[in-house]
Amino acid sequence: MNKKKIFLIIVSIAIIAFAFSLLNKEEKPVESPINIEVGQEFEGIKYSESKYVLNYKISDLNGDSVNDVIIFVGTKEAAEAMNIKEADVVLYNGAKQEYINANLKKFDGKSPRIEIVELTGDNVNDIVVALNNENGEKTLRIITLENEKLKEIFKAKDNKYITFTGKCIDGFKVEINNRKLNINKTLDLKENSEKLIENGVFDKSGKYLESNQSKIQTTDFIDFEFVQLSGYMGIKTKQRIITADGKNIIDEISIIWKWEEGKWQIKEATGLKLGNLLY
45-85 tens-digit pLDDT: 999 999 999 999 999 998 889 999 999 999 999 989 999 99
**Cα–Cα dist 116/142, whole Å:** 10
pLDDT confidence band for 259 (50 / 70 / 90): very high
Specify whether the CB–CB gap between 167 and 214 falls below 8 A: yes
Q: What is the pTM of this model?
A: 0.84
Which distant-in-sequence residues (6+ apart) come within 8 Å of 254 by Cβ? 236, 237, 238, 268, 269, 270, 271
* pLDDT value, residue 201: 87
**Cα–Cα dist 73/186, whole Å:** 44
- Cα 239 to chain centroid distance, Å, stands at 11
* pLDDT value, residue 63: 85
- DSSP lists the bridge partners of residue 254 as 238, 270
Return mean pLDDT, the chain. 88
Nearest to 218 by CA among 273, 162, 155, 146: 162
pLDDT in tens, 172-208: 999 999 888 888 899 999 998 999 999 888 999 999 8
What is the three-class DSSP state of 138?
strand
* pLDDT value, residue 16: 57
pLDDT in tens, 236-254: 999 999 988 888 899 999 9
* pLDDT value, residue 244: 84
pLDDT in tens, 111-158: 999 999 999 999 889 999 999 998 899 999 999 999 999 999 999 989
